[in-house]
Structure 1
Amino acid sequence: MATYAIGDIQGCYSEFRQLLKEIKFHPQRDQLWLAGDLVNRGEGSLEVMRYVADLGDAVRVVLGNHDFHLLGVACGLRKSKRSDTLDALLKAKDAPELLAWLGQQPLLHHDPELNFVMTHAGIPPAWNLAKAKALAAEVELEMRSSRQKQLLEHLFGNQPRRWSDDLKGYERHRCIVNYLTRMRFCAPDSSLELETKSEANKAPKGFAPWFTYPSPALQETRLLFGHWAALEGHTGVAGIYALDTGCVWGNQLTALCLEDQQIFQVKAGAKK
Protein backbone atom coordinates (compact mmCIF):
# COMPACT_ATOMS: atom_id res chain seq x y z
CA MET A 1 0.00 0.00 0.00
CA ALA A 2 1.21 3.50 -0.81
CA THR A 3 -0.19 7.00 -0.28
CA TYR A 4 0.28 9.62 -3.00
CA ALA A 5 -0.42 13.35 -2.64
CA ILE A 6 -1.16 15.20 -5.90
CA GLY A 7 -1.23 18.94 -6.50
CA ASP A 8 -3.81 21.07 -8.29
CA ILE A 9 -5.38 19.09 -11.14
CA GLN A 10 -7.60 21.95 -12.38
CA GLY A 11 -9.41 19.86 -14.96
CA CYS A 12 -6.25 18.33 -16.49
CA TYR A 13 -7.86 14.91 -16.75
CA SER A 14 -5.53 13.27 -19.27
CA GLU A 15 -2.45 14.26 -17.28
CA PHE A 16 -4.10 13.10 -14.07
CA ARG A 17 -4.83 9.66 -15.46
CA GLN A 18 -1.33 9.42 -16.93
CA LEU A 19 0.16 10.29 -13.54
CA LEU A 20 -1.93 7.57 -11.90
CA LYS A 21 -0.52 5.17 -14.47
CA GLU A 22 3.02 6.33 -13.67
CA ILE A 23 2.60 5.64 -9.96
CA LYS A 24 0.72 2.38 -10.67
CA PHE A 25 -2.15 3.56 -8.49
CA HIS A 26 -4.66 0.87 -7.54
CA PRO A 27 -7.72 2.06 -5.57
CA GLN A 28 -8.07 -1.23 -3.71
CA ARG A 29 -4.50 -1.02 -2.47
CA ASP A 30 -3.35 2.63 -2.50
CA GLN A 31 -4.72 5.99 -1.39
CA LEU A 32 -4.73 9.39 -3.08
CA TRP A 33 -4.57 12.73 -1.31
CA LEU A 34 -5.66 15.59 -3.58
CA ALA A 35 -4.68 19.11 -2.53
CA GLY A 36 -7.74 20.91 -3.90
CA ASP A 37 -8.60 22.78 -7.09
CA LEU A 38 -9.83 19.68 -8.86
CA VAL A 39 -11.55 21.86 -11.44
CA ASN A 40 -11.35 24.87 -13.75
CA ARG A 41 -9.10 26.23 -16.50
CA GLY A 42 -8.37 22.75 -17.82
CA GLU A 43 -10.87 21.15 -20.20
CA GLY A 44 -11.65 17.99 -18.22
CA SER A 45 -13.24 19.21 -14.99
CA LEU A 46 -16.30 16.99 -15.42
CA GLU A 47 -14.20 13.89 -16.04
CA VAL A 48 -11.93 14.65 -13.07
CA MET A 49 -14.91 15.09 -10.77
CA ARG A 50 -16.56 11.87 -11.94
CA TYR A 51 -13.39 9.85 -11.56
CA VAL A 52 -12.43 11.22 -8.13
CA ALA A 53 -15.94 11.02 -6.66
CA ASP A 54 -16.10 7.37 -7.76
CA LEU A 55 -12.93 6.48 -5.83
CA GLY A 56 -14.77 6.49 -2.50
CA ASP A 57 -12.52 5.72 0.48
CA ALA A 58 -9.43 5.48 -1.76
CA VAL A 59 -9.22 9.28 -1.97
CA ARG A 60 -8.91 12.20 0.44
CA VAL A 61 -9.74 15.62 -1.02
CA VAL A 62 -9.44 19.08 0.50
CA LEU A 63 -11.30 22.04 -0.98
CA GLY A 64 -9.45 24.72 -2.94
CA ASN A 65 -10.45 28.22 -4.00
CA HIS A 66 -11.52 27.04 -7.48
CA ASP A 67 -13.69 24.36 -5.90
CA PHE A 68 -15.41 26.99 -3.76
CA HIS A 69 -15.80 29.17 -6.87
CA LEU A 70 -17.52 26.30 -8.68
CA LEU A 71 -19.94 25.80 -5.79
CA GLY A 72 -20.70 29.53 -5.75
CA VAL A 73 -21.34 29.62 -9.51
CA ALA A 74 -23.56 26.53 -9.30
CA CYS A 75 -25.67 28.23 -6.62
CA GLY A 76 -26.03 31.39 -8.72
CA LEU A 77 -24.02 33.37 -6.16
CA ARG A 78 -21.00 34.05 -8.38
CA LYS A 79 -20.60 34.92 -12.03
CA SER A 80 -18.51 32.72 -14.30
CA LYS A 81 -15.19 34.26 -15.27
CA ARG A 82 -13.82 34.49 -18.79
CA SER A 83 -11.16 31.93 -17.95
CA ASP A 84 -13.61 29.42 -16.44
CA THR A 85 -14.06 26.05 -18.12
CA LEU A 86 -16.94 24.80 -15.98
CA ASP A 87 -19.85 24.75 -18.44
CA ALA A 88 -19.72 21.04 -19.28
CA LEU A 89 -19.68 20.17 -15.59
CA LEU A 90 -22.48 22.55 -14.68
CA LYS A 91 -24.67 21.23 -17.52
CA ALA A 92 -24.03 17.53 -16.87
CA LYS A 93 -26.96 15.35 -15.77
CA ASP A 94 -25.01 14.18 -12.76
CA ALA A 95 -23.91 17.71 -11.78
CA PRO A 96 -26.19 17.84 -8.68
CA GLU A 97 -24.66 14.65 -7.29
CA LEU A 98 -21.10 15.73 -8.08
CA LEU A 99 -21.59 19.18 -6.56
CA ALA A 100 -23.19 17.69 -3.46
CA TRP A 101 -20.19 15.38 -3.09
CA LEU A 102 -17.75 18.27 -3.54
CA GLY A 103 -19.51 20.39 -0.94
CA GLN A 104 -18.99 17.66 1.67
CA GLN A 105 -15.20 17.60 1.33
CA PRO A 106 -13.03 18.97 4.16
CA LEU A 107 -10.67 21.93 4.26
CA LEU A 108 -7.95 20.00 6.07
CA HIS A 109 -6.85 16.38 6.22
CA HIS A 110 -4.43 15.07 8.83
CA ASP A 111 -2.95 11.60 9.26
CA PRO A 112 -0.93 11.29 12.50
CA GLU A 113 0.51 7.91 11.48
CA LEU A 114 1.91 9.27 8.21
CA ASN A 115 2.81 12.53 9.99
CA PHE A 116 1.32 14.74 7.26
CA VAL A 117 -1.38 17.40 7.18
CA MET A 118 -2.79 18.77 3.91
CA THR A 119 -4.71 21.94 3.09
CA HIS A 120 -5.01 23.72 -0.25
CA ALA A 121 -2.95 26.84 0.55
CA GLY A 122 -1.15 26.00 3.80
CA ILE A 123 -1.51 26.80 7.50
CA PRO A 124 -0.79 30.36 8.72
CA PRO A 125 1.98 30.90 11.28
CA ALA A 126 -0.61 32.19 13.77
CA TRP A 127 -2.14 28.70 14.15
CA ASN A 128 -0.86 25.46 15.59
CA LEU A 129 -2.15 22.17 14.24
CA ALA A 130 -4.95 21.76 16.78
CA LYS A 131 -6.24 25.28 16.06
CA ALA A 132 -6.10 24.74 12.29
CA LYS A 133 -8.06 21.50 12.62
CA ALA A 134 -10.66 23.07 14.91
CA LEU A 135 -11.19 26.12 12.67
CA ALA A 136 -11.40 24.01 9.51
CA ALA A 137 -14.01 21.87 11.26
CA GLU A 138 -16.13 24.97 11.98
CA VAL A 139 -16.45 25.70 8.26
CA GLU A 140 -16.91 22.03 7.36
CA LEU A 141 -19.84 21.82 9.78
CA GLU A 142 -21.57 24.71 8.00
CA MET A 143 -20.79 23.32 4.53
CA ARG A 144 -22.31 19.95 5.45
CA SER A 145 -25.47 21.49 6.84
CA SER A 146 -28.60 23.05 5.37
CA ARG A 147 -26.81 26.40 5.77
CA GLN A 148 -24.30 25.73 2.98
CA LYS A 149 -25.83 28.19 0.52
CA GLN A 150 -26.02 30.96 3.14
CA LEU A 151 -22.35 30.39 3.94
CA LEU A 152 -21.36 30.52 0.25
CA GLU A 153 -23.34 33.74 -0.15
CA HIS A 154 -21.06 35.48 2.37
CA LEU A 155 -17.83 33.57 1.81
CA PHE A 156 -16.13 35.46 -1.02
CA GLY A 157 -14.11 38.58 -0.24
CA ASN A 158 -10.76 39.75 1.11
CA GLN A 159 -11.78 41.01 4.54
CA PRO A 160 -10.84 40.50 7.30
CA ARG A 161 -7.19 40.01 6.36
CA ARG A 162 -5.92 39.12 9.83
CA TRP A 163 -7.05 36.37 12.15
CA SER A 164 -8.50 37.19 15.55
CA ASP A 165 -10.13 34.77 17.95
CA ASP A 166 -12.80 37.45 18.42
CA LEU A 167 -14.06 37.14 14.84
CA LYS A 168 -17.61 35.85 14.60
CA GLY A 169 -20.11 34.64 12.02
CA TYR A 170 -19.43 34.95 8.31
CA GLU A 171 -16.36 37.16 8.81
CA ARG A 172 -14.82 34.39 10.89
CA HIS A 173 -15.65 31.72 8.31
CA ARG A 174 -14.41 33.88 5.41
CA CYS A 175 -11.10 34.49 7.17
CA ILE A 176 -10.62 30.77 7.86
CA VAL A 177 -11.35 29.86 4.24
CA ASN A 178 -9.03 32.57 2.91
CA TYR A 179 -6.15 31.29 5.02
CA LEU A 180 -6.68 27.66 4.05
CA THR A 181 -7.46 28.14 0.35
CA ARG A 182 -6.02 31.49 -0.85
CA MET A 183 -2.96 32.32 1.26
CA ARG A 184 0.43 32.96 -0.35
CA PHE A 185 2.09 35.99 1.28
CA CYS A 186 1.45 37.23 4.80
CA ALA A 187 2.92 39.66 7.30
CA PRO A 188 4.65 38.65 10.57
CA ASP A 189 1.29 39.00 12.35
CA SER A 190 -0.28 36.63 9.75
CA SER A 191 -2.13 39.45 7.95
CA LEU A 192 -2.89 38.25 4.42
CA GLU A 193 -1.85 39.80 1.11
CA LEU A 194 -4.25 38.24 -1.38
CA GLU A 195 -3.41 39.94 -4.67
CA THR A 196 0.16 38.84 -5.47
CA LYS A 197 0.72 35.48 -7.19
CA SER A 198 4.43 35.85 -8.00
CA GLU A 199 7.46 33.78 -7.08
CA ALA A 200 8.41 33.57 -3.41
CA ASN A 201 11.30 36.03 -3.81
CA LYS A 202 9.01 38.77 -5.13
CA ALA A 203 7.00 39.40 -1.99
CA PRO A 204 5.26 42.77 -1.57
CA LYS A 205 6.91 45.09 0.95
CA GLY A 206 6.22 43.99 4.51
CA PHE A 207 5.17 40.48 3.51
CA ALA A 208 6.84 37.10 3.00
CA PRO A 209 5.72 33.61 1.96
CA TRP A 210 3.67 32.15 4.78
CA PHE A 211 5.98 29.13 5.08
CA THR A 212 9.08 31.24 5.82
CA TYR A 213 7.82 32.21 9.30
CA PRO A 214 8.30 29.93 12.32
CA SER A 215 5.37 27.50 12.23
CA PRO A 216 3.86 25.94 15.36
CA ALA A 217 2.15 23.39 13.09
CA LEU A 218 5.48 22.33 11.59
CA GLN A 219 6.68 21.40 15.09
CA GLU A 220 3.93 18.77 15.14
CA THR A 221 3.72 17.40 11.59
CA ARG A 222 4.79 17.84 7.97
CA LEU A 223 2.71 20.09 5.68
CA LEU A 224 1.38 19.53 2.15
CA PHE A 225 -0.22 22.27 0.07
CA GLY A 226 -0.99 23.26 -3.51
CA HIS A 227 -2.34 26.59 -4.82
CA TRP A 228 0.98 28.33 -5.64
CA ALA A 229 2.18 27.28 -9.10
CA ALA A 230 4.89 29.95 -9.21
CA LEU A 231 6.83 28.04 -6.53
CA GLU A 232 7.38 25.24 -9.08
CA GLY A 233 7.23 22.72 -6.24
CA HIS A 234 9.93 24.28 -4.04
CA THR A 235 9.64 25.96 -0.63
CA GLY A 236 13.20 25.63 0.65
CA VAL A 237 11.76 24.62 4.03
CA ALA A 238 12.19 21.08 5.29
CA GLY A 239 8.90 19.38 6.03
CA ILE A 240 6.77 21.73 3.87
CA TYR A 241 5.93 20.34 0.44
CA ALA A 242 4.51 22.44 -2.43
CA LEU A 243 2.50 20.22 -4.77
CA ASP A 244 1.15 22.66 -7.38
CA THR A 245 3.59 22.59 -10.29
CA GLY A 246 1.37 24.37 -12.81
CA CYS A 247 0.13 21.59 -15.08
CA VAL A 248 -2.72 23.79 -16.30
CA TRP A 249 -0.09 26.42 -17.28
CA GLY A 250 1.86 23.96 -19.44
CA ASN A 251 4.24 22.61 -16.79
CA GLN A 252 3.84 19.39 -14.78
CA LEU A 253 1.40 17.50 -12.59
CA THR A 254 3.15 16.18 -9.49
CA ALA A 255 2.60 13.30 -7.08
CA LEU A 256 4.53 12.80 -3.84
CA CYS A 257 4.69 9.35 -2.22
CA LEU A 258 4.17 10.09 1.45
CA GLU A 259 5.91 6.96 2.68
CA ASP A 260 9.30 7.72 1.08
CA GLN A 261 8.89 11.27 -0.39
CA GLN A 262 9.62 10.05 -3.93
CA ILE A 263 8.38 12.52 -6.56
CA PHE A 264 6.58 11.55 -9.77
CA GLN A 265 5.68 13.97 -12.57
CA VAL A 266 4.02 14.03 -15.97
CA LYS A 267 4.28 16.91 -18.38
CA ALA A 268 1.27 18.93 -19.53
CA GLY A 269 -0.13 17.38 -22.68
CA ALA A 270 0.46 13.79 -21.52
CA LYS A 271 -2.30 11.45 -22.70
CA LYS A 272 -3.87 8.77 -20.61
Structure 2
Amino acid sequence: MATYAIGDLQGCHQHFLELLDHIGFNATRDRLWLVGDIVNRGPNSLALLRMLRKLGDAVVMVLGNHDLHLLAIAAGTAQQKAGDTLQPILEAPDSETLLYWLRQQRLFYCEDEYALVHAGLLPAWSVEQAAELAQEVEAVLHGEQFQIFSRSMYGNTPNYWQNTLQGEDRWRVVINAMTRMRVCSPDGIMNFSYKGTLAAIPPGLLPWFELSPRASKDTTIVFGHWSALGLHLTPNLIALDTGCVWQGCLTAVRLEDRKIFQVPCAPHS
Protein backbone atom coordinates (compact mmCIF):
# COMPACT_ATOMS: atom_id res chain seq x y z
CA MET A 1 0.00 0.00 0.00
CA ALA A 2 1.23 3.47 -0.91
CA THR A 3 -0.18 6.99 -0.59
CA TYR A 4 0.47 9.36 -3.48
CA ALA A 5 -0.08 13.10 -3.02
CA ILE A 6 -0.83 14.73 -6.38
CA GLY A 7 -0.84 18.37 -7.46
CA ASP A 8 -3.57 20.50 -9.04
CA LEU A 9 -5.35 18.59 -11.81
CA GLN A 10 -7.57 21.37 -13.22
CA GLY A 11 -9.39 19.20 -15.70
CA CYS A 12 -6.30 17.51 -17.14
CA HIS A 13 -7.83 14.05 -17.20
CA GLN A 14 -5.49 12.47 -19.74
CA HIS A 15 -2.37 13.59 -17.89
CA PHE A 16 -3.85 12.25 -14.67
CA LEU A 17 -4.29 8.86 -16.32
CA GLU A 18 -0.69 8.97 -17.54
CA LEU A 19 0.54 9.77 -14.04
CA LEU A 20 -1.47 6.93 -12.50
CA ASP A 21 0.04 4.56 -15.05
CA HIS A 22 3.51 5.91 -14.28
CA ILE A 23 3.17 5.27 -10.54
CA GLY A 24 1.48 1.89 -11.05
CA PHE A 25 -1.58 2.99 -9.06
CA ASN A 26 -3.86 0.20 -7.84
CA ALA A 27 -7.18 1.39 -6.40
CA THR A 28 -7.57 -1.74 -4.28
CA ARG A 29 -4.21 -1.16 -2.59
CA ASP A 30 -3.10 2.47 -2.90
CA ARG A 31 -4.54 5.86 -1.99
CA LEU A 32 -4.47 9.23 -3.69
CA TRP A 33 -4.27 12.52 -1.80
CA LEU A 34 -5.42 15.34 -4.08
CA VAL A 35 -4.65 18.96 -3.19
CA GLY A 36 -7.78 20.42 -4.82
CA ASP A 37 -8.53 22.42 -7.96
CA ILE A 38 -9.76 19.25 -9.59
CA VAL A 39 -11.73 21.22 -12.18
CA ASN A 40 -11.47 24.16 -14.57
CA ARG A 41 -9.17 25.58 -17.23
CA GLY A 42 -8.18 22.13 -18.48
CA PRO A 43 -10.04 20.18 -21.19
CA ASN A 44 -11.94 17.44 -19.33
CA SER A 45 -13.07 18.26 -15.81
CA LEU A 46 -16.22 16.20 -16.33
CA ALA A 47 -14.30 12.95 -16.91
CA LEU A 48 -12.12 13.68 -13.88
CA LEU A 49 -15.09 14.17 -11.56
CA ARG A 50 -16.72 10.98 -12.78
CA MET A 51 -13.53 9.00 -12.33
CA LEU A 52 -12.74 10.31 -8.85
CA ARG A 53 -16.26 9.69 -7.62
CA LYS A 54 -16.03 6.08 -8.78
CA LEU A 55 -12.69 5.58 -7.03
CA GLY A 56 -14.45 6.05 -3.69
CA ASP A 57 -12.32 5.56 -0.59
CA ALA A 58 -9.13 5.31 -2.64
CA VAL A 59 -9.26 9.11 -2.96
CA VAL A 60 -8.82 11.72 -0.24
CA MET A 61 -9.24 15.22 -1.62
CA VAL A 62 -9.67 18.77 -0.42
CA LEU A 63 -11.49 21.54 -2.21
CA GLY A 64 -9.65 24.29 -4.05
CA ASN A 65 -10.80 27.71 -5.17
CA HIS A 66 -11.75 26.46 -8.66
CA ASP A 67 -13.86 23.69 -7.15
CA LEU A 68 -15.70 26.20 -4.95
CA HIS A 69 -16.12 28.48 -7.98
CA LEU A 70 -17.91 25.66 -9.81
CA LEU A 71 -20.19 25.04 -6.83
CA ALA A 72 -21.09 28.73 -6.62
CA ILE A 73 -21.89 28.85 -10.34
CA ALA A 74 -24.09 25.79 -9.98
CA ALA A 75 -25.84 27.45 -7.04
CA GLY A 76 -26.59 30.47 -9.24
CA THR A 77 -24.58 32.89 -7.12
CA ALA A 78 -21.48 33.33 -9.31
CA GLN A 79 -20.81 33.82 -13.01
CA GLN A 80 -18.36 31.97 -15.22
CA LYS A 81 -15.15 33.81 -16.03
CA ALA A 82 -13.07 34.04 -19.18
CA GLY A 83 -11.11 30.82 -19.56
CA ASP A 84 -13.50 28.68 -17.51
CA THR A 85 -14.17 25.20 -18.92
CA LEU A 86 -17.01 24.21 -16.60
CA GLN A 87 -20.01 24.15 -18.93
CA PRO A 88 -19.80 20.41 -19.76
CA ILE A 89 -20.20 19.62 -16.04
CA LEU A 90 -23.19 21.93 -15.69
CA GLU A 91 -24.86 20.38 -18.75
CA ALA A 92 -24.06 16.73 -18.00
CA PRO A 93 -26.97 14.35 -17.29
CA ASP A 94 -25.26 13.36 -14.02
CA SER A 95 -24.41 16.97 -13.10
CA GLU A 96 -26.50 17.02 -9.94
CA THR A 97 -24.90 13.82 -8.65
CA LEU A 98 -21.37 15.02 -9.40
CA LEU A 99 -21.89 18.45 -7.87
CA TYR A 100 -23.40 16.95 -4.73
CA TRP A 101 -20.40 14.62 -4.41
CA LEU A 102 -17.99 17.54 -4.89
CA ARG A 103 -19.75 19.62 -2.25
CA GLN A 104 -19.29 16.84 0.32
CA GLN A 105 -15.50 16.95 0.08
CA ARG A 106 -13.23 18.37 2.77
CA LEU A 107 -11.36 21.66 3.08
CA PHE A 108 -8.64 20.10 5.23
CA TYR A 109 -7.45 16.61 6.10
CA CYS A 110 -4.88 15.39 8.61
CA GLU A 111 -3.48 11.92 9.14
CA ASP A 112 -0.42 10.98 11.19
CA GLU A 113 2.39 13.45 10.42
CA TYR A 114 0.77 14.90 7.27
CA ALA A 115 -1.94 17.50 6.65
CA LEU A 116 -3.59 18.19 3.28
CA VAL A 117 -4.92 21.61 2.25
CA HIS A 118 -5.25 23.44 -1.06
CA ALA A 119 -3.46 26.72 -0.29
CA GLY A 120 -2.20 26.96 3.28
CA LEU A 121 -2.77 27.59 6.97
CA LEU A 122 -2.60 30.90 8.81
CA PRO A 123 0.31 31.08 11.25
CA ALA A 124 -1.87 31.20 14.36
CA TRP A 125 -3.60 27.93 13.53
CA SER A 126 -2.40 24.66 14.95
CA VAL A 127 -3.31 21.60 12.93
CA GLU A 128 -5.96 20.79 15.53
CA GLN A 129 -7.54 24.24 15.26
CA ALA A 130 -7.37 24.15 11.47
CA ALA A 131 -9.25 20.83 11.51
CA GLU A 132 -11.94 22.29 13.77
CA LEU A 133 -12.33 25.41 11.64
CA ALA A 134 -12.50 23.36 8.46
CA GLN A 135 -15.24 21.22 9.97
CA GLU A 136 -17.25 24.35 10.78
CA VAL A 137 -17.10 25.50 7.17
CA GLU A 138 -17.63 21.99 5.76
CA ALA A 139 -20.88 21.79 7.71
CA VAL A 140 -22.02 24.92 5.86
CA LEU A 141 -20.84 23.66 2.48
CA HIS A 142 -22.57 20.30 3.01
CA GLY A 143 -25.84 21.72 4.30
CA GLU A 144 -28.76 23.92 3.34
CA GLN A 145 -26.88 27.09 4.34
CA PHE A 146 -24.59 26.79 1.33
CA GLN A 147 -27.04 28.46 -1.07
CA ILE A 148 -27.07 31.58 1.11
CA PHE A 149 -23.38 31.56 2.03
CA SER A 150 -22.25 31.06 -1.55
CA ARG A 151 -23.40 34.63 -2.31
CA SER A 152 -20.75 36.03 0.03
CA MET A 153 -18.27 33.13 0.10
CA TYR A 154 -15.57 35.14 -1.66
CA GLY A 155 -14.28 38.55 -0.76
CA ASN A 156 -10.96 39.87 0.48
CA THR A 157 -12.12 40.92 3.93
CA PRO A 158 -11.57 40.10 6.69
CA ASN A 159 -8.00 39.31 5.62
CA TYR A 160 -6.62 38.14 8.97
CA TRP A 161 -7.67 35.78 11.72
CA GLN A 162 -9.32 36.69 15.00
CA ASN A 163 -10.79 34.07 17.31
CA THR A 164 -13.76 36.38 17.87
CA LEU A 165 -14.87 36.27 14.22
CA GLN A 166 -18.34 34.81 13.75
CA GLY A 167 -20.65 33.69 10.97
CA GLU A 168 -19.87 34.49 7.36
CA ASP A 169 -16.77 36.57 8.17
CA ARG A 170 -15.32 33.65 10.11
CA TRP A 171 -16.12 31.15 7.36
CA ARG A 172 -14.74 33.44 4.64
CA VAL A 173 -11.38 33.82 6.39
CA VAL A 174 -11.10 30.04 6.66
CA ILE A 175 -11.92 29.57 2.97
CA ASN A 176 -9.56 32.37 1.91
CA ALA A 177 -6.66 30.91 3.87
CA MET A 178 -7.25 27.30 2.91
CA THR A 179 -8.03 27.87 -0.79
CA ARG A 180 -6.59 31.27 -1.88
CA MET A 181 -3.62 32.32 0.26
CA ARG A 182 -0.03 32.49 -0.95
CA VAL A 183 1.65 35.36 0.90
CA CYS A 184 1.01 37.39 4.05
CA SER A 185 2.44 40.31 5.93
CA PRO A 186 4.67 39.34 8.88
CA ASP A 187 1.70 39.76 11.22
CA GLY A 188 -0.48 37.36 9.24
CA ILE A 189 -2.55 39.69 7.00
CA MET A 190 -3.31 37.84 3.76
CA ASN A 191 -2.45 39.37 0.38
CA PHE A 192 -4.45 37.91 -2.50
CA SER A 193 -2.91 39.77 -5.44
CA TYR A 194 0.59 38.28 -5.55
CA LYS A 195 0.93 35.09 -7.61
CA GLY A 196 4.59 35.14 -8.64
CA THR A 197 7.76 33.33 -7.63
CA LEU A 198 9.44 33.16 -4.24
CA ALA A 199 12.32 35.28 -5.50
CA ALA A 200 10.07 38.15 -6.61
CA ILE A 201 7.86 38.50 -3.52
CA PRO A 202 7.54 42.24 -2.77
CA PRO A 203 9.05 43.71 0.41
CA GLY A 204 6.75 43.43 3.40
CA LEU A 205 5.30 40.08 2.34
CA LEU A 206 6.34 36.51 3.08
CA PRO A 207 5.15 33.09 1.90
CA TRP A 208 2.58 31.89 4.43
CA PHE A 209 4.83 28.99 5.42
CA GLU A 210 7.74 31.26 6.38
CA LEU A 211 5.79 33.27 8.94
CA SER A 212 7.07 32.80 12.47
CA PRO A 213 5.91 31.55 14.82
CA ARG A 214 3.78 29.10 12.82
CA ALA A 215 1.71 26.80 15.01
CA SER A 216 1.52 24.05 12.35
CA LYS A 217 5.28 23.79 11.77
CA ASP A 218 5.63 20.32 13.35
CA THR A 219 3.27 18.77 10.78
CA THR A 220 4.18 18.33 7.11
CA ILE A 221 1.70 20.39 5.08
CA VAL A 222 0.87 19.04 1.61
CA PHE A 223 -0.58 21.76 -0.62
CA GLY A 224 -0.91 23.11 -4.16
CA HIS A 225 -2.47 26.30 -5.57
CA TRP A 226 0.79 28.20 -6.20
CA SER A 227 2.00 27.20 -9.66
CA ALA A 228 4.78 29.82 -9.70
CA LEU A 229 6.18 28.21 -6.55
CA GLY A 230 6.27 24.84 -8.26
CA LEU A 231 7.61 21.72 -6.59
CA HIS A 232 8.88 22.84 -3.20
CA LEU A 233 9.99 20.26 -0.67
CA THR A 234 11.28 20.86 2.84
CA PRO A 235 11.09 18.65 5.94
CA ASN A 236 7.65 20.07 6.80
CA LEU A 237 6.30 21.19 3.40
CA ILE A 238 5.32 19.49 0.16
CA ALA A 239 4.12 21.95 -2.51
CA LEU A 240 2.80 20.17 -5.58
CA ASP A 241 1.28 22.63 -8.07
CA THR A 242 3.69 22.26 -10.99
CA GLY A 243 1.44 23.93 -13.55
CA CYS A 244 0.00 20.99 -15.45
CA VAL A 245 -2.75 23.15 -16.97
CA TRP A 246 -0.08 25.67 -18.02
CA GLN A 247 1.91 22.99 -19.91
CA GLY A 248 4.22 22.31 -16.99
CA CYS A 249 4.00 18.85 -15.48
CA LEU A 250 1.80 16.84 -13.15
CA THR A 251 3.54 15.74 -9.98
CA ALA A 252 3.00 13.00 -7.40
CA VAL A 253 4.97 12.38 -4.22
CA ARG A 254 4.81 9.00 -2.53
CA LEU A 255 4.45 9.96 1.11
CA GLU A 256 6.06 6.83 2.51
CA ASP A 257 9.48 7.68 1.04
CA ARG A 258 8.92 11.05 -0.67
CA LYS A 259 9.84 9.69 -4.07
CA ILE A 260 8.79 12.07 -6.84
CA PHE A 261 6.92 11.04 -10.00
CA GLN A 262 6.14 13.42 -12.86
CA VAL A 263 4.62 13.43 -16.33
CA PRO A 264 4.96 16.32 -18.83
CA CYS A 265 1.79 18.19 -19.69
CA ALA A 266 2.19 19.41 -23.25
CA PRO A 267 -1.20 19.65 -24.99
CA HIS A 268 -2.49 16.46 -26.58
CA SER A 269 -3.04 16.61 -30.31
Normalising by structure 1, what TM-score?
0.96
1:259 aligns with 2:239: no
In structure 2, what is the Cα distance between the partners aligned to 1:188 and 1:40?
32
User: 1:111 is matched by which residue type in structure 2?
Assistant: E
Q: CA deviation at 1:202?
A: 1.7
SS state of the match for residue 109, structure 1? strand
**Equivalent position of 1:146 in the other structure:** 144
Preserved contact between residue 188 and residue 211 of structure 2 (Cα < 8 Å)? no
Q: CA deviation at 1:101?
A: 0.4
**Equivalent position of 1:216 in the other structure:** 215
**Equivalent position of 1:48 in the other structure:** 48
Instruction: Give the alignment of 1:94-173 within 5 angstroms.
Output: 94-112=94-112, 115-173=113-171
1:203 aligns with 2:201: yes
The unaligned stretches of length 5 or more in structure 2 are none
Q: CA deviation at 1:205?
A: 2.8
1:73 aligns with 2:70: no
In structure 2, what is the Cα distance between the partners aligned to 1:71 and 1:134?
22
In structure 1, what is the Cα distance between the partners aligned to 2:79 and 2:236?
38
Q: CA deviation at 1:269?
A: 3.2
**Equivalent position of 1:178 in the other structure:** 176
SS state of the match for residue 152, structure 2? helix
Q: CA deviation at 1:234?
A: 1.8
User: 1:263 is matched by which residue type in structure 2?
Assistant: I
Preserved contact between residue 14 and residue 270 of structure 1 (Cα < 8 Å)? no
SS state of the match for residue 200, structure 1? coil
**Equivalent position of 1:245 in the other structure:** 242
Aligned alpha-carbon RMSD (Å):
1.1
SS state of the match for residue 5, structure 2? strand
Q: CA deviation at 1:238?
A: 2.5
User: What is the count of residue pairs matched by the alignment?
Assistant: 267
In structure 1, what is the Cα distance between the partners aligned to 2:202 and 2:190?
11
1:229 aligns with 2:227: yes
Instruction: Please give the per-residue CA displacement for 1:184-228, whole angstroms capped at 9, x wherever unaligned.
Output: 000122110001100012223311111112322122x21100000
In structure 2, what is the Cα distance between the partners aligned to 1:111 and 1:3?
11
In structure 1, what is the Cα distance between the partners aligned to 2:49 and 2:202?
35
Normalising by structure 2, what TM-score?
0.97
Q: CA deviation at 1:270?
A: 7.5
User: 1:67 is matched by which residue type in structure 2?
Assistant: D
In structure 1, what is the Cα distance between the partners aligned to 2:260 and 2:236?
14
**Equivalent position of 1:88 in the other structure:** 88
User: 2:46 is matched by which residue type in structure 1?
Assistant: L
Instruction: Please give the per-residue CA displacement for 1:108-148, whole angstroms capped at 9, x wherever unaligned.
Output: 01111xx1100000112121111111111110111111112
SS state of the match for residue 173, structure 2? helix
The unaligned stretches of length 5 or more in structure 1 are none
In structure 1, what is the Cα distance between the partners aligned to 2:211 and 2:203?
15
User: 1:94 is matched by which residue type in structure 2?
Assistant: D
**Equivalent position of 1:5 in the other structure:** 5
SS state of the match for residue 70, structure 2? helix
**Equivalent position of 2:28 in the other structure:** 28
In structure 2, what is the Cα distance between the partners aligned to 1:174 and 1:216?
21
Aligned residues with identical type, % of pairs: 45
User: 2:221 is matched by which residue type in structure 1?
Assistant: L
In structure 2, what is the Cα distance between the partners aligned to 1:262 and 1:166?
42
**Equivalent position of 1:269 in the other structure:** 266
Instruction: Please give the per-residue CA displacement for 1:130-174, whole angstroms capped at 9, x wherever unaligned.
Output: 111111111011111111211212201111111111111101100
Give 4+ residue runs of structure 1 displaced > 4 Å after superposition.
none
User: 1:100 is matched by which residue type in structure 2?
Assistant: Y
In structure 1, what is the Cα distance between the partners aligned to 2:199 and 2:267?
30
